[in-house]
Amino acid sequence: MTDARTLLLSGAAFKADPHPTYARLRAEAPVYCRVSRDGAARMWFLTRYADVAAALRDDRRFVKDADVTLGPAELLARPPAPPLYRLLTHHMLNTDGDAHARLRALVNKAFSARQVEQMELRLRTIAHDLLDRLVPRGMMDYVDDFALPFSIAVIAELLGIPSRDRHRFRAWSHILVAPSVDADRNERKTARLAQVMQDFVDYLQGIFAARRRAPQPDLITSLLEAEEAGDRLSTEELYSMILLLTVVGHETSVFLLANQTLTLLTHPTVLAAVRNDRSLITPVIEEVIRYDGPVERATMRFAAEEIELHGATIQRGDAVSLVLASAHRDARAFPQPDAFDLARVGARHLGFGLGAHYCLGAPLARLEARVALDILLDRLPAVQLAIPHSELRWQTNPIVRGPKHLPLRWEVPS
- Closest contact distance (angstroms) between CB of 61 and ligand HEM is 14
Q: Alpha carbon of 389 to those of 79, 109, 266, 275, 411: distances in Å?
A: 46, 40, 8, 22, 20
When asked if residue 364 is in the footprint of ligand HEM (CB under 6 A), the reply is yes
Which one-letter amino acid corresponds to residue 103? L
When asked if residue 247 is in the footprint of ligand HEM (CB under 6 A), the reply is no
What is the chain's percent helix, strand, coil content, to nearest 5?
Answer: 55, 10, 35
Looking at the Cβ atoms of 65 and 194, the one nearer to ligand HEM is 65
- 407-409 vs 139-141, strand pairing mode: antiparallel
Query: Which of 18, 317, 337, 361 touches ligand HEM (CB under 6 A)?
Result: 361
Q: What residues pair up with 300 in beta bridges, in sequence order? A: none
3-class secondary-structure state, position 303: strand
- Window 141-180: residues binding ligand HEM (CB under 6 A): 155
Q: What residues pair up with 403 in beta bridges, in sequence order? A: 394
When asked if residue 294 is in the footprint of ligand HEM (CB under 6 A), the reply is yes
* Count of Cβ atoms closer than 10 Å to residue 94 Cβ: 20
Query: Which of 351, 398, 402, 403 touches ligand HEM (CB under 6 A)?
Result: 351
3-class secondary-structure state, position 309: strand
Cβ atoms of residues 18 and 296 within 8 Å? yes
Instruction: Classify the C-alpha dihedral 149-352-110-211 as positive or negative.
Output: negative
- Closest contact distance (angstroms) between CB of 335 and ligand HEM is 22
Looking at the Cβ atoms of 115 and 299, the one nearer to ligand HEM is 299
Q: Choose the stretch contacting ligand HEM; rule: CB under 6 A; options: 2-10, 260-268, 270-278, 360-368.
A: 360-368
Within 8 A by CB and 6+ apart from 169, the residues are: 152, 156, 161, 246, 250
Query: Which of 84, 140, 220, 256 touches ligand HEM (CB under 6 A)?
Result: 256
When asked if residue 104 is in the footprint of ligand HEM (CB under 6 A), the reply is yes
When asked if residue 18 is in the footprint of ligand HEM (CB under 6 A), the reply is no
- Window 273-292: residues binding ligand HEM (CB under 6 A): 289
When asked if residue 357 is in the footprint of ligand HEM (CB under 6 A), the reply is yes
Query: Which of 160, 293, 337, 398 touches ligand HEM (CB under 6 A)?
Result: 293
Burial of 118 (0-12, 13-18, 19+ CB in 10 A): exposed
When asked if residue 246 is in the footprint of ligand HEM (CB under 6 A), the reply is no
When asked if residue 319 is in the footprint of ligand HEM (CB under 6 A), the reply is no
Query: Which of 243, 245, 376, 380 touches ligand HEM (CB under 6 A)?
Result: 245
- Closest contact distance (angstroms) between CB of 359 and ligand HEM is 3
The DSSP secondary-structure symbol of 319 reads E
Looking at the Cβ atoms of 274 and 360, the one nearer to ligand HEM is 360
Q: Which residue is nearest to ligand HEM (CB)?
A: 361
Query: Which of 152, 274, 360, 371 touches ligand HEM (CB under 6 A)?
Result: 360
Nearest to 142 by CA among 263, 292, 268: 263
CA atoms lying within 13 Å on the CB side of residue 377: 22
Query: Measured between alpha carbons, how far is 30 from 41 in angstroms, rounded to an integer?
Result: 19
Q: Alpha carbon of 225 to those of 145, 222, 238, 242, 260: distances in Å?
A: 36, 5, 10, 14, 38
Query: Which of 68, 347, 359, 392 touches ligand HEM (CB under 6 A)?
Result: 359
When asked if residue 127 is in the footprint of ligand HEM (CB under 6 A), the reply is no
Query: Measured between alpha carbons, how far is 66 from 182 in angstroms, rounded to an integer?
Result: 13
- Window 29-88: residues binding ligand HEM (CB under 6 A): none
Looking at the Cβ atoms of 252 and 261, the one nearer to ligand HEM is 252
- Closest contact distance (angstroms) between CB of 150 and ligand HEM is 11
Looking at the Cβ atoms of 194 and 347, the one nearer to ligand HEM is 347
Query: Which of 173, 252, 321, 326 touches ligand HEM (CB under 6 A)?
Result: 252
The DSSP secondary-structure symbol of 278 reads G
Query: Measured between alpha carbons, how far is 286 from 293 in angstroms, rounded to an integer?
Result: 9
When asked if residue 298 is in the footprint of ligand HEM (CB under 6 A), the reply is yes
Binding site for ligand HEM (CB under 6 A): 92-93, 104, 155, 244-245, 248-249, 252-253, 256, 289, 293-295, 298-299, 351-353, 357, 359-361, 364-365
